Amino acid sequence: MTGSALPRLLRPRGLRAGDLVVIASLSGPLPAAYEPNVERAVVVLERMGFRVRRAPLLEVGRRHWWSAATPAEIAGELNGLLRDPEVRAIIASDGGQTALGYLDLIDVEAIRADPKPILGYSDISLLHLVLYARTGLVGFHADMAVPGFGGHWQSAPVARQAELEKLYSGLLTGTAAIGALPASPSWECWRPGRVEGRLIGGVINRIVLAQATRFALPLEWFDGAVLFWEETGGLASHVWSYLQVMRHCGILDRISGMVVGVPREVSGLEPGASPTLSEIVLDVLGDRDIPVLGNVEFGHAGPNLPMPVGIRVGLDARQRTLSLLEPAVGPHTMTGLVG
């Protein structure tokens, strides 16, 4: 896409009962220890009413360096899924370190012709951001097979599992806005305020990396956006540094609000440590008076609330609410392109 005007959203076609979803290795390999997670994920997805198939690269023991296969092989399989009219959604098996290697190999024309939901977080954040930049596709920063449906979901209380299944199913099949995402007592108001804007984000280091490629989102696309991000691993100082990069490049001057996920295994953010994550965020924001909602359940720390990239949301940090104001998918038979 060219120009700096806000993109026309490309909504994936909504799913129906019996539609085929494919679990695919879009980044890292599948260790033998996580094969049961894939099997459990299949059960969860089938319970939602979908048929499930595994893509060929999702095979225990298959690897190339730190990846499930070479970037070209992964792109080839992904492109095949994008072109296959029977495949109605693609779910990443896991994250990893591979997406940067094939961002330029993705068949964006196939996406424009038949947009499908792509679900995943971590390294898959790069796909969501770059495909949004190139086509306007709504990507689903949401749970994957291994750490999500077959992992964290399994240890969640039964009532929470049922709540998440209903949420995901409604998001993928319904053409009405979800409204308020289910909140929890962990949500914290770090700076009050109420705004509406397009949801843009992912893992914070992947946001910064995406902006360093030729597929970066034009800065104007951040105007009025609600930026969401989370982080896993690394150091608290790294988070501060990534936020400073976004300050220097002008993103923080353009957004209208911020939503921060629960951090996972970030050294320096242990209970009682100083500074806290909220102190780091507010330090970099300075006098930018935008609402900030913290400690929201998306990302590496547990079951993910889905965050559809590009969708208009309502954020009220004081009331600790985050609402999806429009559907993430279009009618089953539409091309997906909307104004």
220 noted as active-site residue: no
- Tell me the CATH architecture of domain 179-324: 3-Layer(bba) Sandwich (3.50)
Chain segment 235-293, per-residue pLDDT in tens: 999 999 999 999 999 999 999 999 999 999 999 999 888 999 999 999 999 999 999 99
Task: Give every CB contact of residue 22 below 8 A, 6+ residues apart in sequence.
Answer: 52, 53, 54, 55, 81, 87, 89, 90, 91
d(CA 291, CA 282): 11
Average pLDDT, the chain: 95
Query: For 179-228, what is each residue's pLDDT tens digit?
Result: 999 999 999 999 999 999 999 999 999 999 999 999 999 999 999 999 99
Residue 1 has pLDDT above 90, yes or no: no
Answer whether residue 301 shows pLDDT above 90: no
Q: pLDDT band for position 339 (50/70/90)?
A: very low
In percent, the amount of the chain with pLDDT more than 70 equals 97
β-strands 20-24, 87-92 pairing:
parallel
337 pLDDT higher than 50: no
- Which of 67, 125, 230, 256 is catalytic? The answer is 230
One fold for 20-173 and 179-324 = no
Q: CA of 61: how far to CAs of 34, 76, 116, in Å?
A: 11, 19, 28
In terms of pLDDT, which residue wins out, 3 or 66? 66
DSSP 31-65: -GGGHHHHHHHHHHHHHTT-EEEE-TT--TT--BT
> Given this model, what pLDDT does residue 4 score?
58
Token pair 């559809």 is found at 308
Pick the catalytic residue from 128, 141, 152, 300. Answer: 300
Q: Give the start-to-end residue ranges of the domains of the chain.
A: 20-173, 179-324
d(CA 10, CA 7): 9
Which CATH code fits 20-173?
3.40.50.10740
Residue from 27, 67, 122, 256 carrying the catalytic annotation: 122
pLDDT of residue 87: 98
- Whether 300 is catalytic is yes
pLDDT digits (tens, 9 = 90+) for 161-173: 999 999 999 999 9
How far apart CA 89 and CA 12 sit, in angstroms, is 9
User: Among 122, 38, 41, 109, which Cα is nearest to 79's?
Assistant: 109
2-52 pLDDT per residue, tens: 445 777 899 999 999 999 999 999 999 999 999 999 999 999 999 999 999
Cα–Cα dist 337/199, whole Å: 18
Instruction: Kindly provide the residue ranges of all beta strands, DSSP E only, lying in 83-237, ordered along the sequence.
Output: 87-92, 118-120, 140-141, 179-180, 188-191, 194-203, 226-230
Given this model, what pLDDT does residue 7 score?
A: 76
Active site residue 64: no
Full-model pTM:
0.95
Burial of 185 (0-12, 13-18, 19+ CB in 10 A): exposed
Structure tokens belonging to residue 136? 């306007």
